[in-house]
Every structure is written in structure tokens, then in C-alpha cells.
Copies of this chain bind each other. A is one copy, B any other.
Amino acid sequence: MNLDRYKKIDEKDIEYLKSVLGQDRVLSGDEISEDFSHDELGGISKMPEVLVEVLTTEEVSKVVKYAYENNIPVIPRGSGTGLVGASVPIHGGIMINMCKMNKILEVDEENLTLTVEPGVLLMEIGDYVKEYDLFYPPDPGEKSATIAGNINTNAGGMRAVKYGVTRDYVRGLELVLPTGEIIKVGGKVVKNSSGYSIKDMVCGSEGTLAIVTKAILKLIPAPKKSISLLIPFPNLSLAIETVPKIIKSKVIPTSIEFMERDVILAAEEFLGRKFPDNTADAYLLLTFDGNSTEEIEKDYEGVANIVLNEGALDIFIADTDERKEAIWSARGAFLEAIKASTTEMDECDVCVPRNRVADFINYTYELQKEFNVRIKNFGHAGDGNLHVYILKDKMTEEEWNKKLSQVFNCMYEKARELRGQVSGEHGIGFAKKVYLKDQIGDVTSILMKNIKQAFDPKNILNPGKVC
């Protein structure tokens, strides 16, 4: 890609942006915090030439229109909690900080929708709709992500087993196109077969096709009861091989997470508090929800029999808020805890058919030995989406880059062999482009490039990402 083909920001550009947004919401040079040069995993970093803060759709539109006319890259950014460099301005340009467009605009109890601005945080949505006895099911681990970030990665989270992913809960979007034009797609409607579904394509497009400036989300009535089961197993293979048997029994838990002792110990240390049990090598964490205790009990009793038959060591029931919080706060801290245990790390979040999860994890054990590198796994056993972390520890930079590349090549090849996908929910961004291309091949790759061009003929919106 020709880096020189974009216009560099100059004083005139900054003046224009200040005329639109005011003096205080346009930062350049040293005024920009280093935080904006990278995301959560930071494998790649680059400072934007200018950082602007927007408050309205019209402001976004004006900034993008200017960038389009002047051939300047534009990168929308939320909380920066991504893991694949999707929000890093690798070609410089204008970064638009969307975080202050963070109002919850409307809850509609008759249509079961919530209308929000893009910078609303996932955790705020959960808390807000609870007051109405409503529920927004998508539940990615990182609760401080913005909703537009979730939409742009099509994040799935813990409850995808039962409830599906973010795309399934997006009814309508307001978008600023790379030309600066504003369009609305979808709405409060439940069904829509009115032309190509731009809404569904923008979901998961990692800020490369359009900027989300408003979203209408689908809500459901909040389940009245939920219960979690923490189930120790003598080893992880046994734990994970139980999952397809649970599914085959026609019970669909809300979530089925797996975790290893090592990761639990790291989380205990990171949080400074104890997990309910840490004596077994591996655990399944299952949640069931429903409208009555009896309804849930019937489901989990069946599952309890299955897991005990398959070799589970015990079953800990978490039915109080306190116990659930102890378990789920540890689960929520896994990523940070692993990160704190090493010098640097990188991630792989392949998604494989759920009856192939054990195959993949056993393969990561082999790779750990073969390449003499620490690899930590946790993730969503119920939906086949693994979060695998490769740790740098004391390796030199050179050794690390070489091993990481070798281990990734092996992992993504294995995922293909198991008919999995490169990313379940973290996206492709910058870091996984080469693996996506290997997976999908030339024909699909060219088709994706054509789609990008259909939205963004000048390739100014978050360039160098996805494809």
C-alpha cells in the first residue's frame, strides 16, 4: 500500500476542524495522549496526526466529509479495548474519539428497543435496562467497551450459546458513510427484507465501512432467575469433551465457559481474592437462566447427571449474588491477570465447531511443548470460541517475533483443518489480516475488497484493516 497517497495534516486542516468543533476538541502533536496510539494488546502502535472529539452526528459527518474531500484517513475510536489493532491509525490522519457521544436516548417498552449513541459503555446498558426488567443479552468480557465497538467487532461474549451475538441484537443503525453522508438502516422493526442488509454488513466491519453514530438495540424481557454451576474436572480434555454431550441432551445453558487452574490462580493473585475452589486442574462454568427456579432446576439437574457421569469431581452451585459475583469477577479478570503475569502477549480467538474445541486445545498443549512457549487458554466452550494467549515471558524480541509467527501459523492452520474461523469475536483488525487471507482465499478476499470499495471508494475510512 502506498503510504504517501494520503494527504498529511497541516495547519489549514487543523484550523478547519477547530472551526467545526471549537478550540478544545481538536488536539494535535504533543497534546495527544500516547493512549490513542494503540489498543489493549498494543502489538502495533502509531499516533494519529490529529485527535478530535465529537458530540453529534453532524459533527462526525462534517469531519468525514472534509477528510473525504482532502484524502485524509479517518479512524473512529471508542474505548480502545480492542485486541487486534483495529483502532490504530496506521496511516496517521484524523482520529475521531466517539466516547463523548454517550447518551442513552430511549428505551421503548412496547417495541423492546433501546436507542443509544455509539460511546455508551456495555456496562451502562446492562445497568440501565435492568431498571425496566429488560435484558440486553450480548456479554463480552470487557464491559468498558463502547457499544459501537461491540457492534464493529460483532462481539459475542459469554451468553452466545443461548442468545447469539451482537449482530442479532442490532435492529437499526445511523451511519456516517466515508463520503460524510448520513444514512439510517433498519429501525425498530422486527423483520426487514428491503434491499441489501447494510446493517448486517456494517456489524463486524471494524470501522472500515461506516461510522456508527446511533444504534437501535433489541432487548428481551429479563429472565427472572439465574444460577451458575462451577464444575471441577481432573483435566481440561475431559471437561471440554463433556460440552457436546450437554448440547446433545437438548439443554442449552446460557453460557458454558472453561478455565484452567493456572488461569484461576493468576486471577486470584491479580484480584487479591479467592476463587470458590482452586483444587482441580480444570473447570466448566455453566449458567442457566429462566423465569422460575423450577424451570432452571429441571435443566441443570439433567446437566449435573451428565457431567458427573463424564467424570466431574464435584458441582458447586452459585445461586446467591455474592457467590456468582465471586466467580464471574474472576472470569472477567482472566485477560488482565494473564497479561500481568508476563512481559508481553498476543492472542488468538479462533472459533471452531463446538465438538472440536478439545482437539484445538490439545493441539495448543502440543505447541507449548514443541516451541517451548507458555500458552494460556480460556474461553467459550459452549460456542467454540477460544481465547488463546501466547506469552513472551523472558524471550528476546527477535525470538518472540519468530516463535509467535510460527505458533500462530500452526494454530490458524489447525483452525482451518477443523473448519473453524480466524476470529470468533475479536475481529481481524491489522494483526490478523494475513491469517484471514489464508483462510478465505483469493476469491473471497477480492470480494471483500470490492465490498470495501463499494462503501469507501477513496479508502479513507480506517485504511489498512480487515482486508
Is A193 in contact with B455, judged by CB distance below 8 angstroms? Answer: no
Decide if A232 is an interface residue (CB 8 Å cutoff).
Answer: no
Q: List chain B residues, Cβ under 8 A from A384.
A: 189-191
Kindly provide the distance from the CB of A442 to the nearest chain B CB, expressed in whole angstroms. 9
Decide if A195 is an interface residue (CB 8 Å cutoff).
Answer: yes
Expressed in whole angstroms, the Cα–Cα distance for A153 and B194 within the complex equals: 9
Decide if A453 is an interface residue (CB 8 Å cutoff).
Answer: yes
Q: Look across to chain B and name the residue whose beta carbon is closest to the beta carbon of A168.
A: B168
Is B194 in contact with A443, judged by CB distance below 8 angstroms? Answer: no
Kindly provide the distance from the CB of A76 to the nearest chain B CB, expressed in whole angstroms. 17
Interface-side segment among A1-9, A116-124, A156-164: A156-164
Expressed in whole angstroms, the Cα–Cα distance for A222 and B252 within the complex equals: 11
Given the interface contacts A221-B252, A451-B451, does A197 sit within 8 Å of B203 by beta carbon?
Answer: yes
Decide if A220 is an interface residue (CB 8 Å cutoff).
Answer: yes
Is B385 in contact with A419, judged by CB distance below 8 angstroms? Answer: no
A435-467 interface with B by 8 A CB criterion:
436, 439-441, 443-444, 447-448, 450-455, 466-467
Q: List chain B residues, Cβ under 8 A from A444.
A: 183, 185, 195, 198
Interface-side segment among A276-284, A314-322, A340-348, A349-357: A349-357
Kindly provide the distance from the CB of A356 to the nearest chain B CB, expressed in whole angstroms. 9
Given the interface contacts A189-B424, A191-B385, does A221 sit within 8 Å of B251 by beta carbon?
Answer: yes
Q: List chain B residues, Cβ under 8 A from A380.
A: 191
Cβ-defined partner of A353 (8 Å) among B153, B189, B448: B189
Decide if A58 is an interface residue (CB 8 Å cutoff).
Answer: no
Kindly provide the distance from the CB of A437 to the nearest chain B CB, expressed in whole angstroms. 9
Q: List chain B residues, Cβ under 8 A from A385.
A: 189-191
Expressed in whole angstroms, the Cα–Cα distance for A192 and B427 within the complex equals: 8
Q: List chain B residues, Cβ under 8 A from A354.
A: 110-111, 190
Decide if A109 is an interface residue (CB 8 Å cutoff).
Answer: yes
Given the interface contacts A250-B221, A453-B454, does A193 sit within 8 Å of B187 by beta carbon?
Answer: no
A36-83 interface with B by 8 A CB criterion:
none
Is A448 in contact with B190, judged by CB distance below 8 angstroms? Answer: no
- How many chain A residues touch B (Cβ–Cβ < 8 Å)? 90
Is B428 in contact with A248, judged by CB distance below 8 angstroms? Answer: no
Is A154 in contact with B197, judged by CB distance below 8 angstroms? Answer: yes
Q: List chain B residues, Cβ under 8 A from A153.
A: 193
Is A193 in contact with B427, judged by CB distance below 8 angstroms? Answer: yes
Decide if A410 is an interface residue (CB 8 Å cutoff).
Answer: no
Given the interface contacts A164-B168, A453-B454, does A195 sit within 8 Å of B448 by beta carbon?
Answer: yes
Decide if A336 is an interface residue (CB 8 Å cutoff).
Answer: no
Cβ-defined partner of A200 (8 Å) among B155, B167, B383, B436: B167
Q: Which residues of A contact B (CB under 8 A)?
A: 108-112, 133-134, 153-156, 160-161, 164-165, 167-168, 177, 181, 183, 185-198, 200-201, 203-205, 209, 220-222, 244, 247-248, 250-252, 291-292, 294-295, 298, 351-355, 380, 382-385, 419-428, 436, 439-441, 443-444, 447-448, 450-455, 466-467
17 contacts between A and B (CB under 8 A): A111-B355, A154-B191, A156-B190, A156-B193, A167-B197, A183-B447, A185-B444, A186-B421, A187-B420, A190-B354, A191-B384, A192-B424, A193-B204, A193-B428, A196-B452, A196-B467, A200-B201
A sample of 20 more A-B contacts (CB under 8 A), given A185-B444, A197-B203, A447-B454, is A110-B355, A111-B247, A160-B191, A165-B190, A165-B191, A177-B443, A177-B447, A189-B353, A190-B351, A190-B382, A190-B424, A191-B384, A192-B204, A192-B423, A193-B423, A194-B436, A195-B466, A196-B201, A201-B201, A450-B453
